[in-house]
Structure 1
């Protein structure tokens, strides 16, 4: 059974008493251990889709299930618990608290989950070593580089041992060197079994994934599967698909 399934998901907003269709009809499935990138033009519905999966927004119709749990049926309180215990988030702008040191930023979701300090320290030690952030744990986010901040944010997302890691433009605020470092980390944790669903506008970022879904006008119109292609060949296929999408947009 897939880890995540969406069936005929639709999201309609009201804007100045007009209906705006953000998602028209989205159906997809993600199996445990998958690594899926979602691409599309600005306004195609990528972030709306991610927000619905994250229970930060609700679909107007359709079903979203994680391990059989219908996410649309969660109460607000249970949705918050679900996000804290089942999901990890990596955002473009890090979303770290400058009033907390890096260690406490990472511990925050476990504090909210009422884990013991011993359990928190036990989880952090190997993760900090893997992310190479052990020397900066007692510093504050404003004292470290953007690449280091994103690794701290990744540690905060992964320390909960989430079923699903959601990444929204995770390399958008990083230079090419730090972006490559973060993507190598995603490769490592995916190799260890972590399921990743990532929204990105970057073909290079998407080339690290195992599957790439392209959204246009609120529907999935194309899918690429990496298979045994290397990153460069897969990047070429992604770029060709984006070029075809841009050509279609220009003609319409």
Structure 2
């Protein structure tokens, strides 16, 4: 069943006298409980696409539907409410508030939604156990490691029980050990039913997804499905496709 649908999405930026077409003609669907990675070189349009899906930016033309709702026609106050209800965000640099302890950082989107404290706590307890952060809740972001901070950020994204988890370079600020820990966590979350869409430069990160889209010059240039392939085989195919992306030759 389709959760997200984009049809002929275009995004044009006007910079002085220059017209920059960041997205040319993007059409794609994401099924419920799917795990999709989006890859491409810097400037290919990945973050622009993610921002449009997140209702943080609007397309110049085309249609976007998430959970059956038309996104590009929403007013800003509707879009803000929609983001809180349906979307979770994980960023490269965590985006945690240093003056809040970890518990309050996780609670922030629920506070904005005016949820009662007892209900927030009931949501947090099983999530904290799943993410192995229970002992970190009363500490502050500056007192824990980068890998632990990213787990707090994942908890903040998931506590709203989002329909779609959007991750923008989530392993970009992590060392190799914490990268693997986070990727295994994402795979576990996905198996529990969470739909994930991740923008990444990392072939390793993409190899944990079910499907990888490659963007070049604002269009979807190539697509890979993992299927029943071992992750190591899928990783090699992603690496080969990235090489082909730079040479503009994609083998099938």
Coarse TM-score class (shorter-chain normalised): over 0.9
- After TM superposition, the runs of 4+ consecutive aligned structure 1 residues lying more than 4 A away are none
Q: Which residue of 2 aligns with 1:143?
A: 143
CA distance in 1 between counterparts of 2:81 and 2:188 reads 27
Q: Which residue of 2 aligns with 1:161?
A: 161
CA distance in 2 between counterparts of 1:158 and 1:214 reads 26
Q: Determine if the alignment matches structure 1 residue 210 to structure 2 residue 177.
A: no
Shift of 1:195: 0.3
Shift of 1:196: 0.3
- Per-residue CA deviations over 1:139-193 (Å, capped at 9, x if unaligned) read 1001110000000000000000000000000000000110111111111110011
Q: Determine if the alignment matches structure 1 residue 189 to structure 2 residue 186.
A: no
Say which SS state the counterpart of residue 157 (structure 1) adopts: helix
Say which SS state the counterpart of residue 89 (structure 1) adopts: strand
RMSD: 0.8
Where does structure 1 lack aligned partners over 5 or more consecutive residues? none
Q: Which residue of 1 aligns with 2:7?
A: 7
TM-score, length of structure 2 as denominator length? 0.98
Say which SS state the counterpart of residue 227 (structure 1) adopts: coil
The total of aligned residue pairs comes to: 249
Shift of 1:98: 0.3
CA distance in 2 between counterparts of 1:230 and 1:37 reads 17
Q: Determine if the alignment matches structure 1 residue 30 to structure 2 residue 30.
A: yes
Shift of 1:248: 2.7
Where does structure 2 lack aligned partners over 5 or more consecutive residues? none
Say which SS state the counterpart of residue 187 (structure 1) adopts: helix
CA distance in 1 between counterparts of 2:72 and 2:188 reads 32
TM-score, length of structure 1 as denominator length? 0.98
